[in-house]
């Protein structure tokens, strides 16, 4: 990772993972996470998949064209009821903000999340940038 900020630091809150291509039905499998969980289309403009699920903290990846013409990976916290019904979703936050929030809850899961992004970068599917 070629960033001036270290994961977990306040400066890392503004880090954004930029995708090199949009997510489509064809490319979604390239972005599979744990146990081959693949992003699912939320609407015409965004794709989502679980990043971390627990009784009191649920974090989803949200992939969308939300950095000008670039697609990026952001995060949203969700409320899940009855085991599988998403009843609310927060506004999206930068990749680094979501990572740091998860690191405060479950450090091991945060390390796995960072490894996921590093695997995407090594596969030439995206890269890190510092946001504003």
Domain with 53 in it: 34-125
Residue 63 lies in a domain: yes
CA 96 to chain centroid: 9
Q: Give the separation between CA 68 and CA 66, rounded to whole angstroms.
A: 6
Residue 53 falls within a domain, yes or no? Answer: yes
Distance CA 79, CA 57 (A): 8
User: Is 23 within a domain?
Assistant: no
Is 45 part of any domain?
yes
Residue 19 resides in a domain = no
Considering the domain boundaries, does residue 78 fall inside one? yes
pLDDT digits (tens, 9 = 90+) for 11-20: 899 999 999 9
132 lies in a domain? no
How far, in whole angstroms, is CA 112 from its chain's centroid? 12
Residue-wise pLDDT for 23-32, tens only, equals: 999 999 999 9
pLDDT band at 48 (very low <50, low <70, confident <90, very high): very high
Residue corresponding to tokens 């064809």: 26
In-domain check, residue 57: yes
**Average pLDDT taken over every residue of the chain:** 89
Task: Give CA separation, 56 vs 52, 80, 98, in Å.
Answer: 11, 9, 15
Structural domain count, the chain: 1
- From CA 65, how far away is CA 71, in angstroms rounded? 4
């Amino acid at each position: 990772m070629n960033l001036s900020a270290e994961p977990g630091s306040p400066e890392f809150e503004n880090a954004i993972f930029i995708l090199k291509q949009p997510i489509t039905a064809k490319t979604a499998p390239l972005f599979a996470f744990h146990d081959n969980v693949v992003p699912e289309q939320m609407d015409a403009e965004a794709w989502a998949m679980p990043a971390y699920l627990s009784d009191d903290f649920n974090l989803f990846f949200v992939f969308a064209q939300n950095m000008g013409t670039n697609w990026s990976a952001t995060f949203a916290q969700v409320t899940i009821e009855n085991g599988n019904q998403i009843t609310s979703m927060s506004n999206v936050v930068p990749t680094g903000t979501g990572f740091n929030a998860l690191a405060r809850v479950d450090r091991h899961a945060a390390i796995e999340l960072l490894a996921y992004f590093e695997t995407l970068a090594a596969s030439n599917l995206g890269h890190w940038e510092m946001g504003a």
